[in-house]
Amino acid sequence: MGRFLVSLAVILTFASAKSFRPIIYNCQLSTVNCQPGILNRPEFYKAMESNTRALVDAQINLLQTGPGGKYEAFEGALSMKKAGFIGAAHTKIHLFRDGHKMLESAIRKDTANTEYRFLRLMIQEHAPPFLGYNKDIQKDSEYIRKMYKSLPEDLQQAIVRYNKKSKNLKLDLS
């Protein structure tokens, strides 16, 4: 009998007279791992690969419950992804710029972080040209190819899936 994993995002709401803030728990029922503010790479990359605003919003909320600044790059990438779902141009550009600042800040703090560069590559390959956010595509692609084998397996799997549709990454898996 195969192992059956079920991922469940449960939204619990805390409401008070002054505030309303959704709290999202990402749960793997097979391991009873329900901890807010913990990065779950498979679920994060599922949201990044999706065209579903609800998945992106759920991951943003989950990451915001974590320690301040720890997931800045991931939240920034998701914010830029979310901008693609917004209709109003002013809001779309504002959200993209805020995400851009978070991601680039995280990269400046840790220039050797391959995963941050992978996040930037995914965003830059899909960003509209008029935003001018495409200057690091080749440099990031080369760095990811160079560092690929030293990465955790769940990140490698996300990169392999992305490689299939990337025009620039061209990861050699042989």
pLDDT by position in tens, the chain (length 174): 332 222 222 222 222 233 333 333 333 322 223 356 778 999 999 999 999 999 999 999 999 888 877 899 999 999 999 999 999 999 999 999 999 999 999 999 999 999 999 999 999 999 999 999 999 999 999 999 999 999 999 999 999 999 999 999 999 887
User: What per-residue confidence (pLDDT) applies to 165?
Assistant: 95
User: What per-residue confidence (pLDDT) applies to 24?
Assistant: 35
User: What per-residue confidence (pLDDT) applies to 35?
Assistant: 57
Virtual CA dihedral for 127, 131, 136, 141, nearest 10 degrees? 10
| Closest to 61 (Cα-Cα) out of 7, 25, 29 | 25
Q: What's the CA gap between 115 and 76, in Å, rounded? A: 13
User: What per-residue confidence (pLDDT) applies to 36?
Assistant: 61
Q: What's the CA gap between 1 and 15, in Å, rounded? A: 42
Question: Quick check: 34 and 27 in contact, CB under 8 A?
Answer: yes
User: What per-residue confidence (pLDDT) applies to 67?
Assistant: 81
Question: Quick check: 113 and 152 in contact, CB under 8 A?
Answer: no
The 10 Å Cβ neighbour count of residue 12 is 9
Q: What's the CA gap between 103 and 21, in Å, rounded? A: 24
Virtual CA dihedral for 168, 142, 113, 162, nearest 10 degrees? 30
User: What per-residue confidence (pLDDT) applies to 70?
Assistant: 86
Q: What's the CA gap between 129 and 158, in Å, rounded? A: 25
Which residues does residue 33 pair with via DSSP β-bridges, in sequence order?
28
| Closest to 166 (Cα-Cα) out of 41, 48, 47 | 48
Backbone angles phi, psi at 120, to 5 degrees: -65, -40
Q: Please report, for residues 10, 21, 121, 143, the alpha-carbon distance to residue 16 in angstroms, rounded to integers and kept in the order given.
A: 19, 9, 41, 47
